[in-house]
Structure 1
Amino acid sequence: MTATLFGVAASVVAAGPVAAASDKPVIALSNAYYGNTWRHQMVEAFEDAAKQAKSDGLISNYFVMNGDGSVAQQNSQIAELILKGVDMIAVDAASETAVNGIIEKACAAGIIVVSFDSVASAPCNYQLNFDFEGYKAVQAEAVFKMLGGKGNVIQVRGVKGSAPDNSMFNAQQSVLAKYPDIKVVATVFGQATASVAQAAIANVLPSLPHVDAVLGQGGSDDVGIAQAFVQYGGEYEGKMPIIEGGGGTDFVKWWAEENAKNGYQTISVNTTPGIGGAAFWLGLELVNGGKAPKKMIMPVATVDPENLQEYADLPGGQIISPSYSPEWVKENLLSK
């Protein structure tokens, strides 16, 4: 069953009969927010893995539930999955803490829970995370060195209330504390979405002093930020601020064009939406008796001036990401 939406209401996808009797496991995804390119690719990665597993006879069925970003809706969806008797739930959480109660209920019902990307802190669940603070601190340091340690910056935050947003913001704050001559002149929320980030930047630019750099949080916010400055023009025409890239291929293409014209430089680092597939294969391994640490870290993707041209010809409208196979999961995530 499906319900069409784009980050406004819920969507539920079930492959095949809901109550199909089988000794094969049923795997589910509860994705709290569906309103940006990164989350769409993540869900596609999960679904691709699930379809492959079903075709290979490894699972009997799978469910995908996408939400509007609210804790209440995700709690309701996970409760529904508990009633369905699924064997494993992968959770991209609306909150690090507010969904812990329903996750504990799922664990008590014998369901394996793997939270990932935006993780939950319930002790019973496995966490498949990125080192948000680590890579964002490195990226901010790189930008501040390009600025020579002084200038005005805008911070563009991500999905409001999510664990990644808090982690990345805190990482940026820790680096800012070391650079007293870097001044934050505005902080806005971009929801990791090009159109939202573009509108947020356009709204504040007229009231700001000259902006030398923009700290983003990834997804497709990077190209939206760039377009806001392009459309504003004026002092930024031919001299754009250093905009942190978040892995969007549209941004990388724009960067490559600017680089060819005037030597524009920045750095792009992003979490990989292919984690959706990794979460699926990890969950299936755990259901089948595999062992893994309670906390695991996924790699990130980096584009810098050295490898820029390698990524400049990728199709637009995407987030840079590898796909993760069952073999990769066994080699890199399961306990040895």
Structure 2
Amino acid sequence: MGGYMKHFLLSSALAVAATGAAFADTYRPECFAPAPGTSEISYDAKDGPYKLAFVNGFAGNDWRIQAIQSAKAWAARPENAGKIDEFTVVSVGNDSAAQIAAIDNFIAAGYDAITFIAVNPTAFEPVIRRAERAGTILVPFDNVLDTDKVVQVNESQKALGALKAQTVMDTLGGEADKILMVNGLPGNATDRDRRLGMMSVLEQVEGLEIVEVVGNWDTGTSQKVVADALATHGEFDAVVSQHGSAGSINAMQAAGHPIVPMGVDGENGVRMLMDELDIPGVSASQAPAMSAVALEAAVALLEGNTLPQTIFLPIPQVQAEALEAGVNYFPDLPKSFNTGTGYAECFAPFTPEELLGQSPDNT
């Protein structure tokens, strides 16, 4: 592990330790761990059962599909179902106005809490105020908001980006001439912060050329843009990919590109390819089951518990040399299946059967 990442992880650990004492009284800190420097939020307790909604934006990739399935699987578990009067899931696409309108509709319908993956980080201040007046709790997750007014559930996206970039640079001995960066969906806080994390490492490499393409966190899109980049720029020393990484690998294989270090996502098919092709690097991602943690947080707040304003969940990750069939990837499951099936600190991870038994449709 390189010096930068050692310093980064040590600094993060010290920051969490320094804030731990201040959060001794927050609810279930082993699950709802505070981001360094965050505040606390609580609301007056409400009697259940509750009306809950999950307002997804973009639904065009496997991660979002499994996030919806995870939310539904959480709601179906007996310990949660008894607390729920109504649970609704809608996906609205990449239009922030449509997402805000859907949230407003649920507020007007008297829903107690709404979780959502924000289409962009800056357009939600008015709806936050409307929710507060109506007594509706909002819990954004994954693509979060630039606000400190509501509880938000996330991983450190900058740390995730830095982890991938530092791993490939360590594998290369700290030197490289040209690296391909496959970014996510433009306009999202998650895409922005992961890129910042990657750049915080790569910008320190003297003489490095960084070629960036937009993969939209989608396998098919990533395959096309990586193929175009290879045709235009030739060979790369390494690749860092936010998501849709199977497409990046497939494009490189189709072009006859040599095996190089990669920082990739946690989809089952990606890990299968890494192991099969002996690709060095790291598979690290954000578990789609974060959707369920957001619902768990919403109910905790409705019950009157105090939570950190920004919750950072651990980053699911495995180094290439530690990949093992049946342990951290599953040859008998679909390639699109995401290996991040839950956070054991919060509740028992979902089984594949629980997830695959749920539809990704609006309900």
Please name the residue that 1:182 is paired with. 208
1:308 to 318, 323, 331: 323
Kept in 2, the 8 Å contact 1:46–1:276? The answer is: yes
Q: Indicate how the Cα distance of structure 1 residues 53 and 61 shifts in structure 2: closer, same or farther if over 3 A, else same.
A: farther
Please name the residue that 1:158 is paired with. 184
Mind listing any 5+ residue stretches in structure 2 that lack a counterpart?
A: 1-46, 349-363
- Give the letter aligned to residue 250 of structure 2: Q
Please name the residue that 2:289 is paired with. 274
Q: Indicate how the Cα distance of structure 1 residues 103 and 38 shifts in structure 2: closer, same or farther if over 3 A, else same.
A: same
Q: Indicate how the Cα distance of structure 1 residues 328 and 291 shifts in structure 2: closer, same or farther if over 3 A, else same.
A: farther
Please name the residue that 2:194 is paired with. 168
Mind listing any 5+ residue stretches in structure 1 that lack a counterpart?
A: 1-21, 330-336
Distance in 2 (alpha carbons) for counterparts of 1:152 and 1:64: 43
Please name the residue that 2:93 is paired with. 68
Kept in 1, the 8 Å contact 2:180–2:236? The answer is: yes
Alignment of structure 1 residues 66-215 onto 2, 5 Å: 66-148=91-173, 149-184=175-210, 186-215=211-240
Q: Indicate how the Cα distance of structure 1 residues 99 and 68 shifts in structure 2: closer, same or farther if over 3 A, else same.
A: same
Which sits farther off after the overlay, 89-98 or 305-314? 305-314
Distance in 1 (alpha carbons) for counterparts of 2:106 and 2:341: 29
Kept in 1, the 8 Å contact 2:260–2:280? The answer is: no
Alignment deviations for residues 104-155 of structure 1 (CA, whole Å, 9 cap, x no partner): 2112211111111111133331111111111321221110122231121111
Q: CA RMSD in A?
A: 2.0
Kept in 1, the 8 Å contact 2:186–2:216? The answer is: yes
Kept in 1, the 8 Å contact 2:52–2:111? The answer is: yes
Q: How many residues align?
A: 297
Please name the residue that 2:304 is paired with. 289
Distance in 2 (alpha carbons) for counterparts of 1:43 and 1:232: 35
TM-score, structure 1 normalization: 0.83
Query: What is the Cα deviation at residue 54 of structure 1?
Result: 8.5
TM-score, structure 2 normalization: 0.77
Kept in 2, the 8 Å contact 1:278–1:325? The answer is: no
Q: Which runs of 4+ in 1 moved over 3 A?
A: 53-56, 324-329
Please name the residue that 1:253 is paired with. 272
Q: Indicate how the Cα distance of structure 1 residues 153 and 114 shifts in structure 2: closer, same or farther if over 3 A, else same.
A: same
Q: Percent identity?
A: 24
Distance in 1 (alpha carbons) for counterparts of 2:199 and 2:80: 47
Q: Indicate how the Cα distance of structure 1 residues 323 and 81 shifts in structure 2: closer, same or farther if over 3 A, else same.
A: same
Kept in 2, the 8 Å contact 1:100–1:120? The answer is: no
Please name the residue that 2:248 is paired with. 225
Query: SS where residue 267 of structure 1 aligns?
Result: strand
Query: What is the Cα deviation at residue 103 of structure 1?
Result: 2.4
Query: SS where residue 323 of structure 1 aligns?
Result: coil
Kept in 2, the 8 Å contact 1:54–1:60? The answer is: no
Distance in 1 (alpha carbons) for counterparts of 2:180 and 2:49: 50
Q: Indicate how the Cα distance of structure 1 residues 284 and 53 shifts in structure 2: closer, same or farther if over 3 A, else same.
A: farther
